[in-house]
Structure 1
Amino acid sequence: MSERDRKPGFRRGGGKAPDKGRESGRRPPWRDREASPDGPVILYGWHTVAAALANPQRRIRKLYLSENAARRLSDEKIDTRVTPEIVRPSLIDQRLGPDAVHQGLLAEADPLPSPDIDTLPQDGIVLVLDQITDPHNVGAILRSAAAFAVKAIVTTARHSPEATGVLAKSASGALELVPLVTVQNLARALAEMNDQGFLTVGLDSQGSENLGSVALRQPLALVLGAEGKGLRQLTRETCGVVARLDMPGEIKSLNVSNAAVLALYIGASRLGLMGGG
């Protein structure tokens, strides 16, 4: 999300037939702007698009549907909010590539607003991502964050994937449920969170104690570093606590999205945030 898309505030959580030229294999009437910060957010797949349509804060610019997808939306009484264009699935394949599982739905939308760091709620758990660049991992973390009712995810404006395309698909609708707070300087944002009363816990294999032994409290910020590099030095130094995730098996490290799930489970359990807690 570009800086111009940032806005203050905090939140929780039958079309026309295509013409023959489009049917004949020519490039469809949309441009590939996923890589451009000024372009629309690209959303595809059933859960991703359905969640966006259900989110009143998400402005849908264009909606492309296969006949089957349009019928399913109608059967499930999901309001498309804009007049969709009915296209062949092959045209969506052409837009996204043959490996994208789009299920006959593609939407172009405006980015969601990025809340300011000082609007974070003073309870629950927040995740902080230190230059995690793989959109699959960030999308999976978003999905887990939604499952654990995480209040927000804080990430950097640079060295992080745009909230579009593969990330949105991997999040499976969670992009509409968990606010993304975009900051220019992560260490400065962590220092501000410390001042706000957050317990900031960096997760690192060289942490001084096991996360399960740390005296956790709310509001809690769990800070995750990129795979391979881990937490940057300044990030680690700004965290109030640096903890590790101890495991009994031969492999001692986890994929960052799996580590996020484990840390969230430990944090939510210790803080009494689980459903039966």
Structure 2
Amino acid sequence: MRKRGPLKGSGGKVRRSLEGKGATPPKEARHWYKDKARTERIAREDRGGGSRPSSAPRQRKSDDAPEYIGGRNPVAEALAAGVPASALYVASRLDGDDRVRASLKLAAERGIALLEVSRDKLDRLTEGAVHQGIALQIPAYDYAHPSELIEIAQDAAEIPLIVALDGVTDPRNLGAIARSATAFGAHGLLVPSRRSAGVTGGAWKTSAGTLATMRVARAANLTAALREYREAGIFVVGLDGEATVDLDEVSLLGEPLVIVVGSEGKGLSRLVREQCDYVARIPMFAAAESLNAGVAAGIALYEVARQRRR
């Protein structure tokens, strides 16, 4: 005799299917919550209601977007150095000191707009950097063509000296190199347009205003630009800690010269190295992984200036 299954309403299969699945989970545990929260957060940011967390990827600024220098000393130094600026932002009810008063005076004398804003607004403008209640808006940098750096040396009746940056991505290194280049008589900096630091607010801040007089050129292809320099009679010397020749042994430092500084850690790229007439190292008394790009450029420029004075 065939065994019969449970009848409807008898507490069998149908009854089990009607059993509840527990309490409704909170919204934070639902699969769609994270996507919805992210969409709402982005919408608030677009309306100016808050800044995006540092862990979220930032959109790359357009080339014509303004930059901002934050901090009392950097702003005062930039204005004193004649850095081009379009507006000076000051936090509401800011307790001013000598640096703030000097900045306000210089901005007024130069006809730069003075704007009183909230500290939240300053946080957004400076992307969370320390601004001490004051920030200077500077227009997008007007890069030179690589050939203009040679013209600057020719107009000054001097032997060309140019510093090229290969893979240096920290704007603070660019600013530090600009200071050394100004101190030791270089005629300009050359940076590639991709995967390289540009003249941003961070570079202006570190340069202490020297970028107002030190021209920076940008090349779509650094290797091609170095090749054109060589065709124009300028020698190219790359810095690399793995080189076998010390920098002070290079006989070309008194000639028209481009010094190429590579990134910290990676050094010179293969294609750039192939364009160098010499690859030299900075001798060190103690073993170290590598020198900071700004430090290496300063030492190399000093050695060039020393040999040229001789």
1:39 pairs with one of 33, 42, 65 = 65
CA distance in 1, matches of 2:285, 2:108: 46
Q: Which runs of 5+ in 1 are unaligned?
A: 1-24
| One-letter amino acid of the counterpart of residue 64, structure 2 | D
1:84 aligns with 2:114: yes
1:171 pairs with one of 199, 207, 210 = 207
CA contact (8 A) 2:68 2:126 kept: no
Partner of 1:221: 258
Change (3 A) 1:76 1:112: closer
State the secondary structure of the residue aligned to 1:81. coil
Partner of 1:158: 194
Partner of 1:248: 285
Offset of residue 255 of structure 1: 1.6
Which structure carries more helix by proportion?
Answer: 2
State the secondary structure of the residue aligned to 2:113. coil
Calculate percent identity across the aligned residue pairs: 33
1:96 pairs with one of 126, 135, 141 = 126
Offset of residue 242 of structure 1: 1.0
| One-letter amino acid of the counterpart of residue 84, structure 1 | L
Cα shift readout 1:168-188 (whole Å, capped 9, x = no counterpart)? 222222221211100011111
| One-letter amino acid of the counterpart of residue 63, structure 1 | L
Q: Which has the higher contact order (CA 8 A, sep 6+)?
A: 1
CA distance in 2, matches of 1:204, 1:78: 47
| One-letter amino acid of the counterpart of residue 69, structure 2 | L
Partner of 2:22: none
CA distance in 2, matches of 1:139, 1:77: 23
Offset of residue 204 of structure 1: 1.2
Residues 128-207 of structure 1: pairs in structure 2 closer than 5 A: 128-207=164-243
Between 63-72 and 165-174, report the one with greater CA deviation.
Answer: 63-72
Partner of 1:110: 139
Partner of 2:101: 71
CA contact (8 A) 2:165 2:190 kept: yes
CA distance in 2, matches of 1:151, 1:81: 30
| One-letter amino acid of the counterpart of residue 193, structure 1 | Y
Offset of residue 33 of structure 1: 8.6
Cα shift readout 1:17-66 (whole Å, capped 9, x = no counterpart)? xxxxxxxx9669xxx997332311222334544455456683x3322124
Poorly superposed stretches of 4+, deviation over 6 Å = 25-28
State the secondary structure of the residue aligned to 1:84. strand
Change (3 A) 1:219 1:78: farther
Larger radius of gyration: 2
| One-letter amino acid of the counterpart of residue 87, structure 2 | K
CA contact (8 A) 1:138 1:257 kept: yes
Change (3 A) 1:34 1:145: farther
Offset of residue 198 of structure 1: 1.6
Cα shift readout 1:57-104 (whole Å, capped 9, x = no counterpart)? 83x332212452552235678734223113455642353255x33344
Change (3 A) 1:244 1:54: same
CA contact (8 A) 1:246 1:252 kept: no
Cα shift readout 1:191-213 (whole Å, capped 9, x = no counterpart)? 11112222210111232411011
Aligned residues: 244
CA contact (8 A) 1:45 1:103 kept: yes
Between 110-119 and 216-225, report the one with greater CA deviation.
Answer: 110-119
CA contact (8 A) 1:200 1:222 kept: yes
1:238 pairs with one of 254, 275, 291 = 275
| One-letter amino acid of the counterpart of residue 233, structure 1 | R
Q: RMSD of aligned C-alpha atoms? A: 2.9
CA contact (8 A) 2:241 2:280 kept: yes
